[in-house]
Amino acid sequence: MEEVKIVNLGLPNLALAYGLVLLTIGLARLRRIGQEGEIMWSSVRMVVQLFAVGYLLHLVFDVRSPLAVIAILLAMAGFALQIMGARISHRMPHFYRVMGIAILIGCGGVTFLFCGLVVGYSPWYEPRYLIPLAGMIVGNAMNGASLAAERLGAEIHERRDEIETALCLGATSRQAADTAVRHAFRAALMPTTNTMAAMGIVSLPGMMTGQILSGIEPIVAVRYQIAIMCAITGAVAITAFLVLFQGYRSYFTKAHQLTEEEYTGQ
């Protein structure tokens, strides 16, 4: 088979690509949507973070230390919590504790299960596998958890009178919040479900595209993509489930009453 030549992107190429972001900012200003600064800041942050991670991974790949790999994974989880906290306007009570436990169990469990049993490389902390795979799993689970938390808060607030009536009639907090929790869980899974449905026909996913561009056989890239998408789906489901399982309780007292903030609608 003919060897595939990898095209190296230089800084001029990246500058040309960044022009598309500037075009986006120009269109946003033209339509006066008020997000020009946010788009610019997000793009600059992306560039700085990715270059920093690239150089850091280069060092970690050389060191091959399990402590360094675990430290990076914990930092990824910490940044995920910070991003979720900044984007959700009305956070549930005990937000960071709830999210932290959900990410640790949901993402951590799926990542090590996937890397250890599905991919099965050795040693278990091999950074070239563990860090990129964990990044994809945590990133997608973060979006699902955010949707679950935000939708749960909105559902509890909108159904306040309905929930209070159910509690007065003798329902437990779990029974009264059941509809809100179901709607929130459905919202959390919807983006991942839509992505799976469109994958292959409507879109070629990033991991698969990157592997093909690097010279890997397409069918091998397809197998990896299917496996990682299954892992992502499981991580999103487990993380969102744990967020909702813990989260709905924080809106109620131990006596199965809405907390004062929710009862007064604040």
Mean pLDDT of 75-94: 85
pLDDT exceeds cutoff 70 at 180: yes
At 263, the pLDDT band (50, 70, 90 cuts) reads very low
- Which three-class secondary structure string do you get for 19-67? HHHHHHHHHHHHCCCCCHHHHHHHHHHHHHHHHHHHHHHHHHHHHCCHH
**Predicted local distance difference test score (pLDDT) of residue 106:** 94
pTM: 0.80
At 107, the pLDDT band (50, 70, 90 cuts) reads very high
Closest residue by Cα to residue 211 from 227, 196, 198, 195? 227
At 211, the pLDDT band (50, 70, 90 cuts) reads confident
**Predicted local distance difference test score (pLDDT) of residue 186:** 95
**Predicted local distance difference test score (pLDDT) of residue 26:** 95
**Predicted local distance difference test score (pLDDT) of residue 222:** 87
Q: Check: CB of residue 252 under 8 Å from CB of residue 161.
A: no
Mean pLDDT of 246-256: 86
- Higher per-residue pLDDT: 109 or 208: 109
pLDDT exceeds cutoff 80 at 243: yes
Q: What is the mean pLDDT of the chain?
A: 87
Q: Check: CB of residue 47 under 8 Å from CB of residue 117.
A: no
